[in-house]
Amino acid sequence: MIAEHVTADGEARYRALVTASSDVVFRMSADFRELRQLEGRMFMEASPLPNREWFEQYVFPADRERVLCTIQDAIKSKRMFESEHRVIQADGSVGWTHARSVPMLDAAGEIVEWIGMASDITPRVRAEQEFAEQRRMYEAILTNTPDLAYVWNLEHRFIYANEGLLRMWGRTWNEAIGKTCLELGYETWHADLHDREIEPVIATRKQVRGAVPFNGSFGRRYYDYLLVPVIGASGDVESVAGTTRDVTEHKQL
């Protein structure tokens, strides 16, 4: 009777989720082997009847081992199952989902079934993949340029530095990113100069040019630089980017 009560309670919860949510909603057996119900919301194919082939039907082959390990850990610990993985969408294409499922327990603390939700995160993942691909392309370009390239956030901290600049600083990525000019060993006047230049770039969206000497890993050299605003999708300035060129030989001439 207790198990029947928990199952009925689970059914009520499931129906409430189906009514209130725009996400995929599903019920699973205690051992996760049987999909009891699934409302696909046009993202995944609906499964109104018990389905023991769901794993092969919905989960992308390359992600199955990882998802299975996550399921086994959740069953063992009796805690929420949560996973981001690829799935076969209703139209047969491959998409990404963020799935979450909580165990329904009886009075003895044993799992009776699982009730879960799955969100379509395909657009987000694809955008992240496109961004990562663009970053790899830009990194390949900036790594091989003789110029020094960098980006400050609005708090004047470096959020990007190419390999040439890291070598000039004599720092690793982890040692440099998140630091200010002063924290990276710039002389006080030099750090103050850039702090004064960053703010008008943000405020006016206009470029700033300058030239300074700098004592780095290559000795005392002279550099020309250009600072420009980085405009985000909202139209606001999100950061300030710069490029610096060694003009020591030119200055000596």
Task: Give me the mean pLDDT over the 126-137 stretch.
Answer: 81
Helix/strand/coil (H/E/C) assignment for every residue in the chain:
CHHHHHHHHHHHHHHHHHHHCCCEEEEEECCCCCEEEEECCCCCCCECCCECCHHHHHECHHHHHHHHHHHHHHHHHCCCEEEEEEEECCCCCEEEEEEEEEEEECCCCCEEEEEEEEEECHHHHHHHHHHHHHHHHHHHHHHCCCCEEEEECCCCCEEEECHHHHHHHCCCHHHHCCCCCHHHCCCHHHHHHHHHHHHHHHHHCCCEEEEEEEEECCEEEEEEEEEEEEECCCCCEEEEEEEEEECHHHHHC
Task: Give me the mean pLDDT over the 203-220 stretch.
Answer: 89
Q: What is the pLDDT of residues 154-193, one digit of tens each?
A: 999 999 999 899 999 999 999 999 999 999 999 999 999 9
Residues 157 and 221 occupy one common structural domain: yes
Give the pLDDT score at 10. 59
Domain presence at residue 136: no
Total residue length of the chain:
253
On whether the CB atoms of residues 74 and 68 are closer than 8 A, the answer is: no
On whether the CB atoms of residues 238 and 232 are closer than 8 A, the answer is: yes
Residues 192 and 150 occupy one common structural domain: yes
Task: Give me the mean pLDDT over the 199-225 stretch.
Answer: 91
Domain presence at residue 141: no
Residue 21 has pLDDT above 80, yes or no: no
Residues 94 and 184 occupy one common structural domain: no
Residues 32 and 95 occupy one common structural domain: yes
Domain presence at residue 132: no
**Both ends of the chain: CA-CA distance in Å?**
94
Q: What is the pLDDT of residues 78-120, one digit of tens each?
A: 999 999 999 999 999 999 999 999 999 999 999 999 999 999 9
Q: Which of 23-27, 33-37, 144-148, 192-196 has the lowest mean pLDDT?
A: 144-148
Give the pLDDT score at 138. 67
Residues 159 and 239 occupy one common structural domain: yes
Give the pLDDT score at 124. 94
Residue 6 has pLDDT above 60, yes or no: no
Domain presence at residue 133: no
Residue 20 has pLDDT above 60, yes or no: no
Domain presence at residue 160: yes
On whether the CB atoms of residues 176 and 161 are closer than 8 A, the answer is: yes
Residues 150 and 120 occupy one common structural domain: no
Strand partners, 38: 26, 47
Domain presence at residue 215: yes
Q: What is the pLDDT of residues 53-84, one digit of tens each?
A: 999 999 999 999 999 999 999 999 999 999 99
Domain presence at residue 216: yes
Query: Which of 90, 125, 160 finishes a domain?
Result: 125
Domain presence at residue 34: yes
Report in angstroms the alpha-carbon separations of 169 from 162, 172, 238.
Answer: 11, 9, 25
Residues 15 and 67 occupy one common structural domain: yes
Q: Measured between alpha carbons, how far is 102 from 98 in angstroms, rounded to an integer?
A: 14
Q: C-alpha dihedral over 229, 230, 233, 236, to 10 degrees?
A: -30
Residues 18 and 97 occupy one common structural domain: yes
Q: Which of 1-15, 66-80, 125-139, 220-234 has the lowest mean pLDDT?
A: 1-15
Q: Tokens in use for 225?
A: 């630089």
On whether the CB atoms of residues 149 and 242 are closer than 8 A, the answer is: yes
Q: Which domain holds residue 199?
A: 146-252
Q: Measured between alpha carbons, how far is 30 from 136 in angstroms, rounded to an integer?
A: 44
Query: Which of 75, 96, 125 finishes a domain?
Result: 125
Q: Measured between alpha carbons, how far is 60 from 137 in angstroms, rounded to an integer?
A: 28
Residues 121 and 150 occupy one common structural domain: no
Residues 206 and 246 occupy one common structural domain: yes
Query: In terms of pTM, does the model score above 0.85?
Result: no
Residues 48 and 18 occupy one common structural domain: yes
Query: Which of 125, 155, 183 finishes a domain?
Result: 125
**What total of structural domains would you count in the chain?**
2
Residue 1 has pLDDT above 50, yes or no: no
Residues 35 and 114 occupy one common structural domain: yes
Q: Measured between alpha carbons, how far is 147 from 143 in angstroms, rounded to an integer?
A: 9
CATH of residue 111: 3.30.450.20
Task: Give me the mean pLDDT over the 205-230 stretch.
Answer: 90
Residue 2 has pLDDT above 50, yes or no: no
